[in-house]
Amino acid sequence: MNDSFYDHNDLGSPLSAAIASRDRNTMDMVQEALRKKQVMLAYQPIVQTLRPDRPAFYEGLIRVLDKTGRVIPAREFIDVAETTETGRQLDCLALELGLRALDEHSDLRLAINMSARSIGYPRWKETLTTGLAKGPTIAERLILEITESSAMVMPDIVSVFMSDLQAMGISFALDDFGAGYTAFRYLKEFYFDIVKIDGEFIRGIASNPDNQVLTQALVSVAKHFDMYTVAEFVENSADAEYLTEIGIDCMQGHYFGAATIDPVWRNRDEQRKTG
């Protein structure tokens, strides 16, 4: 957002006070929901480009519910929560729910988001250790997604953390690749298994020459480092066809399926039990 959007002399204005009050109220609701574990995961498929009918894996997206059961939009709190204790609690609960799903569904591969700021957070590590102990294949089916912005906060720590967990079989995805934070001198040290190209480059790419050039460059960088590529926010057939032509490995977006709390694989497992 442009800094000039707000006049800094208006910080005490009624509008600013209302915005601050709304933000506080939202965070209060989020914190209450976390205390009561009123959270769930919504699952969105990431499909193989050459086999779009077959998801390669799913992303588990945290959903926080208010006291009436309605979802509190993540955009209203996630940036504020990222740097606070609330953000660490969100990461722990997302991981807990994801590991439970992996334990319950043996053919599921799942990506869970985390901030690099949760590295070293005792509860997060305890949650991971407890969850992995429930099954011998859980680690190899878990993907941890870290955004560019948080990875750059502590690149050396992230690199060691990734190396330790990759030795256990866990994969890592760099989220929002190309959004502007990555120092390319660090990229060769991170060894991400997957890079997810930021949706700002993908939306409407079939008719946007600038985004075509930028995305091709990002794909080239990823392939050079043997990183699997995922295009985010694929929303129509024209974009999907273009991305297929330039060699994207996987795609994610509403064109292939929205995030849902009632995923196909869960229904399939329930049908097997009752069949």
Q: How far apart are CA 150 and CA 169, in angstroms?
A: 22
For the segment 129-160, what is each residue's pLDDT rounded down to a tens digit?
Answer: 999 999 999 999 999 999 888 888 888 899 99
Give the pLDDT band (50/70/90) at residue 2.
very low
pLDDT higher at 182 or 94: 94
Q: What is the H or E stretch that residue 157 is in? A: helix 155-166
Give the pLDDT band (50/70/90) at residue 7.
very low
**CB neighbours of 202 closer than 8 A, spacing ≥ 6?**
211, 215, 231, 232, 233, 234, 239, 243, 253
For the segment 111-133, what is each residue's pLDDT rounded down to a tens digit?
Answer: 999 999 999 999 999 999 999 99
Helix axes 85-104, 122-132, angle to 10 degrees: 0
Q: Is the pLDDT of residue 15 over 70?
A: no
Backbone angles phi, psi at 82, to 5 degrees: -50, -40
Question: What integer pLDDT is reported at residue 18 of this predicted model?
Answer: 47
Domain boundaries, the chain: 23-265
**Options 3.40.50.300, 3.30.390.50, 2.60.120.620, 3.20.20.450; CATH of 23-265:** 3.20.20.450
| 3-class DSSP assignment, residue 263 | coil
Give the pLDDT band (50/70/90) at residue 9.
very low
Judged by average pLDDT, the poorest of 7-16, 52-61, 235-244 is 7-16
Give the pLDDT band (50/70/90) at residue 5.
very low
Q: Is the pLDDT of residue 189 over 80?
A: no
Q: How far apart are CA 195 and CA 219, in angstroms?
A: 9
Query: Is residue 168 within 8 Å of 132, Cβ to Cβ?
Result: yes
Question: What integer pLDDT is reported at residue 275 of this predicted model?
Answer: 55
Give mean pLDDT, residues 2-30. 56
For the segment 26-39, what is each residue's pLDDT rounded down to a tens digit?
Answer: 888 889 988 888 99
Question: What integer pLDDT is reported at residue 23 of this predicted model?
Answer: 61
Highest mean pLDDT among 11-15, 18-22, 266-270: 266-270
Question: What integer pLDDT is reported at residue 3 of this predicted model?
Answer: 41
